[in-house]
Chains A and B, each alone.
Chain A
Amino acid sequence: MKFEEHTSLEESLQPILSVSEFIEYSNLLLGRKQVVVEGEISSFTVSQGKWVFFDLKDASSTVSCFSMLYRITTQLTDGMQVRITGTPRVHQKSGRFSIFVDAVELSGYGSLKKAFELTKAKLEKEGIFDSARKRALPAMPHCIGLICSQESAAYSDFIRILNQRWGGVDILLAHVQVQGQSAIQEIAGAFEYFNTAGTDAELLVLIRGGGSLEDLQAFNSEQVARAVFGSRLPVICGVGHERDESLADYAADVRAATPTHAATLTVPDRNELILHIGRMTRTIESGMDRAIEWHGHQLQTSLSHMSHRIAARIERFHFLTRTLSKGIAMMGTKIDEHTRSIQRAYVVLESSLERVLTAKQTAIDHLGRNLSNMNPLTVLGRGYSIVREGKKIIKKKGDVSPGSHIDITFSDGEVSADITKVQQQAPLF
């Protein structure tokens, strides 16, 4: 009775909903506020490569969760402790209560370590950490991109060391969250910006100060590691303290142990260069000194060589002059000697010639006298005569006959005659 009364009273105050309306109404109430729930994952499944289902539980309760795969930015497996951010809702058809998960964060060292190992293995297999692909850094960059939190000690340390070491650098600062929900998207977004915006940056620096594994989560996420790997520009990554190593470090072209170290890798140290220039100056100066000394020495040597040579030539000249003089003198003497020889020879020749001529003259006279005796005219003078018949000289009586005409030559002239008779008698003598 009471209940019926109660309900009829409530009826006048309460609207009556259909099941669908009730679910809709419930979702309206539930959907007003996002919740953050921490628990352990179990029954984690991925369906059709798109939908993610898991249960989130603690010691006494369990709640269903579902999400889209693209929202899950970290490796998840059963047993991991996580913190999910999402909206509770009731499924229209089944009335099933679940949380629609917007984002998942790992919580607890164990989960984080596990996720880290899984992601690392996955990316390593893909070659994201290969040393062969790591690029060289430009030596003296004019312009760099800096991805970090502007409010962090990492940023101020980096800038301070950079200023100490070098000047003339344009630093394009991309201020991002380095932990928390939006860190991964912002960091990845910054890399995307530098890839596409066409800035003058020649390299990128990604830095973050020290923190727990939970704080450094974003730098161990697959998305950030891929963003670092896929950067068009070379990347220096310096996250955490020296002993911290993040997946972003592994994926980077150069790993810095700390943000300060990153500054030393980005630019050279001007003081070191100034010292180096000093050393180079001294090398040039001493090189110059040596050159001058060497050339001076060369010059000395050349000069002394030259003066030796000249002296030698002068010496030779004198020697030749003396030799020449001697030679000329000797020649004079010889000429005199020869002249005297010639003169002597001439005298000898002359007297010989005289003797020869005299002898010849005597011989000629002798021959002359002989010749004179043989002169036919002389013979004719003695009574002989030459008988000719024509031109022919008659020596024998037989040569003529009576009637021949002959010419007779006497010492004083010629007569002509005719032969009358040829005597038969023998000559008297």
Chain B
Amino acid sequence: MTSKIKKEDSFKESFAELEKIVQEFETGEMDLDESLEKFEQGLALAAACKKRLSEIENRVSEIKKKFSAQLQDTPPQDGDATPF
């Protein structure tokens, strides 16, 4: 389960990273070397994210348990105890 969560987190991270790179391109403040590097990185991230989005399924697992909330008070013994 943890490795799966790590995989999902890395998708989130990749996606966030991609958005960051896009912002850098929008502000247009980079030099040519940096631009080329970020360009390659960005396209790789986009491809990875797209792939990830296209492939995974959901999984339903039923909790095998009967649910019943705890009642507030324990019932007293008998109706005979009623004060009438």
Which chain A residues have a beta carbon within 8 Å of chain B's beta carbons? 47, 50-51, 53, 66, 68-71, 89, 91-94, 96, 100, 139-140, 142, 146, 150, 159, 162-163, 166-176, 182, 184-193, 200, 223, 227, 270, 273-274, 277, 280-281, 283-285, 287-288, 290-292, 295
Residues of B within 8 A of A66 (CB): 79, 82, 84
With A70-B72, A169-B58 already in contact, the answer to whether A89 and B79 are too (CB < 8 A) is yes
Interface size, B (range): 35 or more
Return chain A residues, CB-CB under 8 Å to B65.
Answer: 174, 193
| Chain B CB within 10 Å, residue with most, of A94, A270, A277 | A277
30 contacts between A and B (CB under 8 A): A51-B83, A66-B82, A70-B73, A71-B71, A91-B82, A94-B84, A100-B79, A162-B58, A163-B57, A167-B53, A168-B4, A168-B7, A168-B56, A168-B58, A169-B58, A171-B58, A174-B65, A182-B68, A189-B68, A200-B1, A274-B53, A274-B54, A277-B46, A277-B49, A287-B26, A287-B28, A287-B35, A291-B32, A291-B35, A295-B32
Residues in B neighbouring A96, C-beta threshold 8 A: 84
Q: Indicate whether A173 sits within 8 Å of B79 (C-beta atoms), given known contacts A192-B69, A277-B50, A290-B28.
A: no
Cα–Cα, bound, A96→B36 (Å):
92
* Contact of A189 with B69 at beta-carbon distance under 8 Å, contacts A171-B59, A280-B18 already known: yes
* CB-based contact B56/A167 at 8 Å: yes
Whole-angstrom distance between the alpha carbons of A96 and B79 in the complex? 12
Whether A91 touches B69, Cβ cut-off 8 Å, given contacts A167-B55, A291-B30, is no
Chain A residue with Cβ nearest B32: A295
Residue of A nearest to B6 (CB): A142
Distance, CA A86 to CA B58, complexed state (A): 44
Contact of B43 among A93, A162, A192, A281 (CB under 8 A): A281
Instruction: Knowing that A170-B58, A192-B67, A285-B39 touch, tell me 7 more A-B residue pairs with CB under 8 angstroms.
Output: A159-B58, A168-B4, A184-B69, A200-B5, A273-B53, A280-B18, A283-B22
What CA separation (Å) do A199 and B62 show in the bound complex? 13
Q: What's the Cα separation between A51 and B82 when bound, in Å? A: 8
Contact indicator B68/A186 (Cβ below 8 Å): yes
| B residues less than 8 Å from A146 (CB atoms) | 60
A169 to B54, CA, bound (A): 14
Shortest distance between the CB of A56 and any CB in chain B (Å): 16
- Measured in the bound complex, the distance between the Cα atoms of B7 and A170 in whole Å is 13
Q: Which of B39, B56, B63 contacts A193 (CB 8 A)?
A: B63
Chain A nearest CB from B63 CB (Å) reads: 5
In the complex, what residues of B have CB within 8 A of residue A270's CB? Answer: 53-54
From the candidates B28, B32, B50, name the one contacting A274 in the complex (CB within 8 A): B50
Q: How near does chain A come to B33, taking the closest CB pair, in angstroms? A: 10
Separation of A174 and B69 alpha carbons in the complex (Å): 13
- Kindly list the 7 A-B residue pairs having the minimum CB-CB distance in the complex, ordered from nearest: A287-B25, A189-B67, A167-B56, A188-B69, A168-B56, A189-B69, A291-B35
In the bound assembly, the distance between CA atoms of A53 and B50 in angstroms comes to 64
* Contact indicator A172/B12 (Cβ below 8 Å): no
Bound: A170/B72 CA distance, A = 33
| Residue in contact with A169 in the complex, picked from B28, B36, B38, B59, CB distance below 8 Å | B59
Contact B75 A92 (CB under 8 A): no
Contact of B84 with A288 in the complex, beta carbons under 8 Å:
no
